[in-house]
Amino acid sequence: MRQALTIPKIKAMKAAGKPIAMLTAYDYPSAMLAEEAGVDMILIGDSLGNVVLGYETTLPVTLDDMIYHTRAVVRGAPGTMIVTDMPFATYRLGPEETLRNAARIMREGGAHAVKMEGGADLAEEIRRLTSAGIPVIGHLGLTPQSVHQIGGYKVQGKDRWEAERLLEDAKALEQAGVFAIVLELVTEPLAAAVTKSVRVPTIGIGAGQSCDGQVLVYHDLIRYGSGIRDKRFVKTYANVGETIRTAISEYVNDVKTRSFPEDKHGFPLDDELTKASASSSRLYGGETK
């Protein structure tokens, strides 16, 4: 069986110039397919709120939701490094509460690491987790849990002040002990600058070509019910949503026109059973005493 990558191996990929392929997954079959396809890390993103649970934002996603989905993913991809997002506000009530919540994700969910959105302001929490043996990935740029504060899903780091702050945050995250940093929707030059300035790998989504790895949302990659917003940074590799819709409408039509089930889908009685039943059972039209 394939072995999950370790943190030192993930870090070494940056040094060796080997790109890291990360993908989100939220359930058993998606995780199984991701592992079979060779992804390096699976992220149970709180994007599950949008693409699986149908919320407008990631804010309603709970710790129990994350743990429930993490367990399914771990069963589907036992040979892959599994990272789980800490959901909204579960790491903002101090280092001890953060440790309690992250420990539940590891112990009950079976994740190998957690991811948190934020910069230098999370240094204490990151130190607390890493000193307790919980590996952490940072997340900078567009941080969807702060969508109301940011004012929408916009590219970050466009002006100099914002860019300098993000660079400082990346250094602070590294200093605090993260083993990788997700950069979401930041300008290409800023992503390049961050990637050069830290020794831990950067994993981009909408952050251009210079990151050490890339991450995409599963449902975007295969267009599985996720075509609501057109996202320029997504490459769609298959249109599974269309395939599923066509299959289901054919099924509905077959049922309505009585084309399904056909004879071959049913279970005829075998001859011996028919004879035995005919003589003894009212069910099959035989006489009863």
* Distance separating the N- and C-terminal Cα atoms of the chain: 61
| Whole-angstrom distance, CA of residue 129 vs CA of residue 147 | 25
Element (H or E) spanning 216, and its range? strand 213-216
Note whether 55 and 36 are within 8 A (CB): no
Residue 138 binding ligand KIV, by CB under 6 A = no
Backbone angles phi, psi at 194, to 5 degrees: -65, -45
Of 27, 35, 40, 85, the one binding ligand KIV by CB under 6 A: 85
Q: State how far the Cα of 25 lies from the Cα of 45, in Å rounded to an integer.
A: 8
184, 188, 272, 287: which one is catalytic? 184
Which one of 27, 35, 40, 46 is in contact with ligand KIV (CB under 6 A)? 46
Catalytic, 184? Answer yes
Separation between Cα atoms, residue 26 and residue 48, nearest integer Å: 7
Among 205, 207, 211, 221, binds ligand KIV (CB under 6 A): 205
Residue 182 touching ligand KIV (CB under 6 A): yes
Nearer to ligand KIV, 45 or 138 (CB): 45
* 134 versus 140: smaller Cβ distance to ligand KIV: 140
Q: Which residue is nearest to ligand KIV (CB)?
A: 45
Q: Which of 25, 26, 35, 47 binds ligand KIV (CB under 6 A)?
A: 47
- Told to check if 156 binds ligand KIV by CB under 6 A, we report no
Binding mask 6-45 for ligand KIV (x = CB under 6 A): ------------------x------------------x-x
| Cα–Cα distance for residue pair 25/222, rounded to 1 Å | 12
- Cα(190)–Cα(245) distance, integer angstroms: 40
Residues 221, 237 contacting (CB under 8 angstroms): yes
Based on CB atoms, which residue is closest to ligand KIV, 129 or 182?
A: 182
Of the candidates 135, 130, 84, 138, the one whose C-alpha atom is nearest the C-alpha of residue 111 is 84
Q: Which is nearer to ligand KIV, 64 or 250 (CB)?
A: 64
**Catalytic sites, residue numbers:** 184
Site residues, ligand KIV (CB under 6 A): 24, 43, 45-47, 85, 182, 184, 205, 215, 217
